[in-house]
Structure 1
């Protein structure tokens, strides 16, 4: 399947791309190369190949998720410029 220049212009319009007239031929060649590559992939026999969710069998080894509290409220409030006993004070932004 080959893509014509009219097809490229229509695709660019549908994709809301501002494709200059001088670039239409270049884009046509690029699209046709991709389509040729896809046709080459269609020839490959994948009858006995199981579908994959990932390309490798490598697993991520994550640490166990444990909730720990390292920063107490008092220490956090001590870092703020203006606080009361429970909250940070900030300037009012909504009237």
Structure 2
């Protein structure tokens, strides 16, 4: 599939890319090669191939939850730079 210079300019505009006109021809060739490669993938018979759900072969280690030691409310607030009764006081971020 051949990508022309107008298509390159339109794609660059949509992707917010800037480039000089001298590199438009190289980009056109590169994108045409990519699309040709994708077209080759469409020719492959994938009728009996199961779809991938993940690229990793790792398995999650599922284990029982255990109740552990937790900070009490006062210990959690002990090192707070500023506090307001039972809560952390933080700077306002929205007006």
TM-score, normalization: structure 2?
A: 0.68
Q: Report the equivalent of 2:77.
A: 77
* CA gap 1:3/1:65 in 2 versus in 1, 3 angstroms: farther
1:50-88 CA distance string (max 9 Å, x none): 222223554222444556551111212322355575344
**Structure (1/2) with the larger strand percentage:** 2
Q: Count residues in correspondence.
A: 94
* CA gap 1:73/1:25 in 2 versus in 1, 3 angstroms: same
| C-alpha separation in 2, matches of 1:54 and 1:93 | 38
Aligned-pair Cα RMSD in Å: 3.2
1:2-52 CA distance string (max 9 Å, x none): 111222112212333222212211211220121121122122111111222
| C-alpha separation in 2, matches of 1:4 and 1:16 | 18
Gaps of 5+ in 1: none
* CA gap 1:54/1:88 in 2 versus in 1, 3 angstroms: closer
- 2:7 pairs with 1:20: no
What is the 5 A alignment of 1:1-95?
A: 1-56=1-56, 58-65=58-65, 68=68, 70-81=70-81, 83=83, 86-88=86-88
Gaps of 5+ in 2: none
